[in-house]
Amino acid sequence: MKAVESDTTTTIGTDASNQDVSAVESDGSTLATDAQAAALDPPPIDSAEYTAAMTYYATAGNDASNGDFTDATTAMNNGTALINKVAAAVTNS
């Protein structure tokens, strides 16, 4: 999850702010790989939502790597909404 967090909050954001399309496409590939790996290690609480969030992040990464930034943004937002629910459940457990 740490790699996904770094991908979504730092790497992609920085390259997008710099309008570096090729870097964002490359970052998308990295995000897809990291999210697929993270999905294999869900927390014991809300694991289904966590896995769904990682699926959204993988989709966002694949979309970004293909230059489809609109769909990538939608998938990223969906993943973030779910991961926020998981984080709240873990915090409140």
- Residue 77 belongs to a domain: yes
Query: Which residues lie below 8 Å from residue 87, measured CB to CB, with a gap of 6+?
Result: none
- pTM greater than 0.85 (yes/no): yes
The pLDDT score that the predictor gives to residue 85 is: 93
Instruction: Work out the mean pLDDT of the chain and round it to a whole number.
Output: 94
The pLDDT score that the predictor gives to residue 45 is: 86
Q: Which domain holds residue 41?
A: 2-11+22-91
pLDDT in tens, 64-86: 999 999 999 999 999 999 999 99
- Residue 49 belongs to a domain: yes
3-state class of 1 per DSSP? coil
Residue 13 neighbours by CB distance under 10 Å? 13
- Residue 35 belongs to a domain: yes
- Residue 84 belongs to a domain: yes
Q: Is the pLDDT of residue 63 over 90?
A: yes
- Residue 37 belongs to a domain: yes
pLDDT in tens, 2-19: 999 999 989 999 999 999
Q: How many domains does the chain have?
A: 1
**In angstroms, how far is CA 12 from the centroid of its own chain?**
10
- Residue 17 belongs to a domain: no
- Residue 69 belongs to a domain: yes
Q: Is the Cβ–Cβ distance between 59 and 80 less than 8 Å?
A: no
- Residue 43 belongs to a domain: yes
Distance, in Å, from the CA atom of 43 to the CA atom of 23, rounded to the nearest integer, reads 31
Distance, in Å, from the CA atom of 6 to the CA atom of 23, rounded to the nearest integer, reads 15
